[in-house]
């Protein structure tokens, strides 16, 4: 049976622990950011930021405002368009998880264009630049709870 990560966004507080866990697990460097006039930071995924929390301010009935949060990261699609278009096989399924093998990536950008969620991001350095988190695959192979679930303050991530 395919594995999935379900995020209960009604419980998410936007603490960004999942962002920090992703950077730590994948040994990704910090990036310099600046205040953009909102709480959302970083503003987008990059070659060194593979997970982020998007912030949305919405007006509810009665004129009250509320924050909504959404985890932005690879969805590990069963029929992943990034896997289908990759000419070298760098983007592939390892079990139910989509991975991008840096050794095989030629930096063509097909995966970037094909992904409906705009998740893969190429570094400006060329071949081997398609970034892809390994935390989900690694934690499943170790038989442990999901990395993100263990870091989430409200344990809103379920497997």
Q: At 9, list the tokens.
A: 């966004």
Residue 144 three-state SS: coil
Three-state SS at 103: coil
pLDDT tens digit string along 51-99? 888 888 899 999 999 888 888 888 888 899 999 999 999 999 888 888 8
DSSP 3-state of 48: coil
Domains of the chain (ranges plus CATH)? Answer: 7-73+142-154 (3.30.70.20), 81-132 (3.30.70.20)
pTM: 0.72
What share of the chain has pLDDT > 70, as a percent? 73
Buried b / exposed e across 110-147, counting CB within 10 Å, b at 16+?
Answer: bbbebbeeebbbbeeeebbbbbbbbbbbebbeeeeebb
Q: Mind listing the pLDDT tens digit for each residue in 117-148?
A: 888 887 654 444 455 545 444 544 544 444 44
pLDDT tens across 37-61, in order?
Answer: 777 788 888 888 888 888 888 999 9
Q: Contact at 8 Å (CB) between 135 and 25?
A: yes
């Amino acid at each position: 049976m395919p594995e999935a990560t379900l995020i209960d966004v009604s419980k998410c507080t936007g603490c960004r622990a999942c962002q920090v866990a992703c950077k730590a697990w994948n040994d990704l460097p910090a990036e310099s950011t600046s205040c953009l006039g909102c709480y959302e930071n970083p503003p987008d995924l990059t070659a060194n930021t593979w997970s982020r929390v998007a912030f949305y301010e919405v007006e509810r009935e009665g004129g009250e405002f509320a924050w909504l949060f959404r985890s932005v990261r690879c969805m590990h699609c069963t029929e992943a368009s990034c896997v289908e278009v990759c000419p070298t096989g760098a983007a592939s399924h390892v079990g139910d998880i989509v991975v991008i093998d840096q050794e095989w990536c030629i930096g063509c950008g097909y995966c970037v264009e094909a992904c409906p969620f705009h998740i893969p991001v190429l570094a400006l350095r060329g071949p081997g630049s398609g970034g892809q988190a390994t935390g989900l695959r690694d934690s499943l192979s170790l038989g442990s709870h999901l990395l993100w679930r263990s870091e989430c303050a409200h344990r809103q991530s379920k497997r």
